[in-house]
Amino acid sequence: MPPATDPPGAPATTPAPLPSPLPDADATAEGTPADSTDAPTDEGATGGENDAARRRRRAQFLRELNEAKELRDRVQPRRARAARMRQAMRMRTFRW
Tell me the pTM. Answer: 0.40
Distance CA 87, CA 29 (A): 60
Looking at residue 71, its pLDDT comes to 93
CA distance linking residue 32 with residue 26, whole number of Å: 10
Q: Are 80 and 72 in contact (CB under 8 A)?
A: yes
Predicted pLDDT at 45: 54
| Neighbouring C-alpha atoms within 13 Å toward the C-beta of 58 | 6
Summarised one tens digit per residue, pLDDT across range 41-83 is: 555 555 677 999 999 999 999 999 999 999 998 999 999 999 9
What helix, strand, coil percent values describe the chain, rounded to 5? 55, 0, 45
